[in-house]
Amino acid sequence: MTTPPSDRELLCESCGYVLTGSDSDGPCAECGVLVAESLASCRDGAIWQRQKSVLGHVRGLFAAVLRPGHESRRLIIRDGAMPTRLVANILIAAALLTGAFALAQPTAAGTFARSGVELGAIFASFIALLMVMTWIETRGVRLFGRQRAWRITPAVAWSVCTQASFGWIVGAAAALVVAPPLAPILGVVQDLPGADVLVPGRGPRNALALLILLPVLGFELLVYVGIRRCRFANRP
């Protein structure tokens, strides 16, 4: 396994060639891309990093989803596990998933009404699940990077996963939309022989397993794009 480049080295963000000591006006000796395009100053921040308001958060959401490559190329790499913006996105996604779960899984009485305590427990479960899955993803992309000699430091992993956490929100919103038509299907599935094979606990857990697929897909797609754009990222 090749050793990843040092965090102190200036790398060509296109090919990973070490540019330390190179003329900033010249090209990369390996791929020909201008050295100036790999300077940390070119990463002026994704929209959500530059605009701290609620409107900036909404604009950052649309930019992250519609222009993931562009936003990832501008992403500033910063230290810190579980950044505030990441936690905010997880809370929003968990709230949307709680609503989707309530719509997709009627109560025993056949209604969608649930107590505040029950909804709170479901909400807390989704928060814990998304946080754990995000943490696992940061470990996974670092291992993936080491195997390919990419410079995926903890700061890069958390920055990319924070950007990708907008995918949690989009996927959860999609789950909320598909939840009502999904409810009859789940009602049939949980009554089938061997339904416990899908997920033990039948109806409620089957709903959880099916609804979480959309947020996972959104998150993983943005992580993939982000890691490709930040695998040799130079930090301030």
- The tens digit of pLDDT for each residue in 205-233 reads 555 667 788 999 999 999 999 999 999 99
The full set of domain ranges for the chain reads: 1-42, 45-230
Indicate the pLDDT class of residue 163, thresholds 50, 70 and 90.
Answer: very high
Alpha carbon 194 to chain centroid, angstroms: 34
The structure's pTM equals: 0.84
Per-residue pLDDT tens digits for 38-97:
999 999 999 999 998 999 999 999 999 999 999 999 999 988 667 889 999 999 999 999
Give the Cα separation of 65 and 217 in Å (integer).
12
